Structure 1
Amino acid sequence: MSMIDQGRRTSSAIGAWLGGVLPGLGLTFAIACAATAVQRLTGIAALSPLVVAMVLGIALRNLGGTPQAARPGITFSLRRVLRFAIVLLGFQLTLDQVRAVGLPGLAVISVALAATFVFTRWAGRLLGVEPRLAELIAAGTSVCGASAVIATNTVTRGTDEDVAYAIACVTVFGSLAMLALPVLGEVMAMDPAHYGIWVGATVHEVAQVVGAGFQHGPEAGQAATVAKLSRVMLLAPLILILGAAARRGGAAAQASAPTPWFVLGFAAVVLFNSAVALPAALHGEIVGLTAFLLTMALAAMGLETDIRKLRAKGLRPLALGALAWSFIAILGLGLVLLI
């Protein structure tokens, strides 16, 4: 076969692939635009476009159905777009930020994260919650909300309904934490730095952390944000550990839990971001792009979610989310008071 024929066949294959992916990719892009617009028009910082996109996707799937032609692009958004976005998350972290938290702060964050993850999985078994769903709730509560849920599912391999339920749990209880912790911090007259570490180490989403942290002033807000970003960095080792554990579980697990190489890309970007200072404008554009790509992934997740299956899971996972939230809040407070 000549080089010209090979080139034609390659171009034809690429064109066919693009034709299959573009409808679904365009649909998730449109939903992400709508979700972003909702957040900007309302002006509510804690109203995450990720959650709005997932709700819109669920509504479209369950009220009108997902077009068959869109399925390849939806799958592409769930896998490739999501993993690329997780790599880009590394541009929001530097090693200097981690050092700024200090060893006591890092100890609080690490212990609270590990203990909450283990406790939630254990409590899930006691409550009879499916192990994969319990693991996703554990990741979302202990690390960073919706982003941790969808990243962890690359190795946990839960259903779309598992992911949607876990995100709903961390959204509900993270919002409650955002409202409750400022009141408790005021009652206990906590030092701003200590209050910030408590919020950053225990509240679920980054936006929720910012909302709760800055209610006690700029010092508390900055401490909360840095503590939260340091906690996000621990997502990479968590996923690598879960992936390695799944592969040791036998042939079936090996087939379903590939090495999450994108996590190594995330770590590499963190190192790059620590060594090279990007222009502020470019950094801001990357942060915005990352949020938008994650929103597309959540839109795809919603488009794949059957609400009848979600309802069938019952209230036990919700009870698990409440237990996990209570555990990390109380443990985090105790650890902060110790330091």
Structure 2
Amino acid sequence: MANDYLTDTQSARGLFQSLEGMEGLTTRVGPAQPQARGWRKVRARFVAVYPGVLVASTIALAATWLSQHYGAPVMLFALLFGMAFHFLHEEGRCVAGIEFSSKAVLRLGVALLGAKITAGQILSLGVMPILTVIAGVATTLGLGFLVSRLLGQSRAFGVLSGGAVGICGASAALAIASVLPRTDDSERDTILTVVTVTALSTVAMITYPLIAAAAGLDHTHAGIFLGGTIHDVAQVVGAGYTVSPQTGDVATYVKLLRVALLLPVVVVLSLAWRRGAAQPGARAPLPVPLFLLAFAALVVAGSLGWLPKPAVEGASTVSRWCLVAAVGALGMKTSFGALVKVGWRPVLLIVLETAWIAALVLAAVLVSQ
């Protein structure tokens, strides 16, 4: 947890040791102080992170308000607002809290996603949708891994984009990015993935119901198609209930099945990359991140009926706010200039992954209808 409020560059640590950073006052350098312990340590961390967390929370509030009033994706608003305040991550009091929001707050939001998934919801879909979703996620990840090199991108970016397209859009991108090896381009790649999948998800919300109608799909199969292909949960709900209540219900359950696959995918990726990066004689890190264990525990608790409805609704609400705030923090860590330099190749990769999973799920639905 301690590293969650430090910047990625060790040389920037001193920027938030003084509370006067944003006021332009210099930090007085003196003899090293003994490390705080207990309550003082907690208080010191709170003092360090609260300005940046407050900024990220304000961005989340503004993005949510605009999304509710204008119907655009909340994640996109949070990203754009965050990128507009990129200067806050360059120096000053907000640096620590921005780092904390993009890491610890992110993990909390992903963990709480498990509260709204139950085994009963998944099993009620039947065999065909389950196999289709698993095949869609696995092959989309594989496509991203293989094609990334052809387009001059890293394997990590191929897995990141494939997971975002195959599982649950921005939420999956944030979760997968947290276990991938960190490089100088990690934040930039994550932001680019979130921006692109959010935009494509909005396009899919509008066009995929038309494709389902043109293909002559009934309400159930239309729900399978929409839930198995659209990236973000909100857009799945919007597209499904536009067709009919039955389509909306089926689409939501199928989408939650894809969200449930986030746990095994991230665990496998975490194990694979940790094993490859392990140094001889080094202490082995925890094989499964704690936030994924919390995710799994909430899925089990919900499946056994241990979570009352108010608790599930509360966890879902907190999860959504945490993820929006984390996206805002990631936006503050990325500049427009850095994204422009990326070029068209990574965007093409995400478009290809989106087209692949749409074609695969549509073909499976047409065969089974």
TM-score, scaled relative to structure 1: 0.91
Deviations 1:216-256 (A, max 9, x none): 21111111000000110000000000011112214369999
What's the offset of the Cα at 1:37? 1.4
Match of 2:30 in 1: none
Q: Distance in 1 between matches of 2:181 and 2:174?
A: 10
Contact 2:89 2:98 in 1 (8 A): no
Q: What is the match of residue 138 of structure 1?
A: 162
Q: Residues 239-258 of structure 1 correspond to what in structure 2 (within 5 A)?
A: 239-251=266-278
Q: Which range moved further: 234-243 or 20-29?
A: 20-29
How many matched pairs? 329
> What is the CA deviation profile of residues 7-34 of structure 1, one whole-angstrom value per residue up to 9, with x for unaligned ones?
x953322222211111111111111111
Query: Which residue, out of 228, 236, 241, partners 1:201?
Result: 228
| Structure 1, unaligned runs of 5 or more | 1-5
Residue from 241, 248, 255 that aligns with 1:221: 248
Q: After TM superposition, give the deviation of residue 277 of structure 1 in Å.
A: 5.2
274-283 or 263-272: bigger deviation: 274-283
Q: Tell me the residue number matched to 1:28.
A: 56
Question: Is residue 326 from structure 1 mapped to residue 350 from structure 2 by the alignment?
Answer: no
Query: Does the alignment pair 1:230 with 2:254?
Result: no
Matched, 1:121 2:145: yes
Amino acid at match of 2:329: A
**Structure having greater relative contact order (Cα 8 Å, sep ≥ 6):** 1
Match of 2:82 among 29, 49, 57: 57
Q: 2:214 aligns with which of 187, 205, 210?
A: 187
Is residue 164–residue 301 contact of structure 1 (8 Å, CA) maintained in 2?
Answer: yes
Matches within 5 A, 1:6-25: 9-25=37-53
Aligned to 1:294: 323
Q: Shift of residue 145 of structure 1?
A: 0.2
**Mapped contact 1:54–1:298 kept (Cα < 8 A):** yes
Q: TM-score, normalised by structure 2?
A: 0.84
Q: SS at the partner of 1:200?
A: helix
Specify which structure has the higher proportion of helix. Answer: 1
Amino acid at match of 1:48: P
Aligned-partner Cα distance in 1 for 2:59–2:336: 18
Whether the 8 Å contact between 1:148 and 1:235 is mirrored in structure 2 is: yes
Per-residue deviation, 1:186: 1.1
State how far apart, in whole Å, the 1-side matches of 2:181 and 2:286 are: 10
- Name the CA distance, whole Å, in 1 between partners of 2:297 and 2:198: 29
**Do the aligned partners of residues 252 and 56 (structure 1) sit closer, same or farther apart at CA in structure 2, a change above 3 Å counting?**
farther
Matched, 1:263 2:287: no
**Unaligned regions of 5+ residues in structure 2, if any?**
1-33
What is the identity percentage for the equivalent residue pairs of Structure 1 and Structure 2? 32
- Partner SS state of residue 189, structure 1: coil
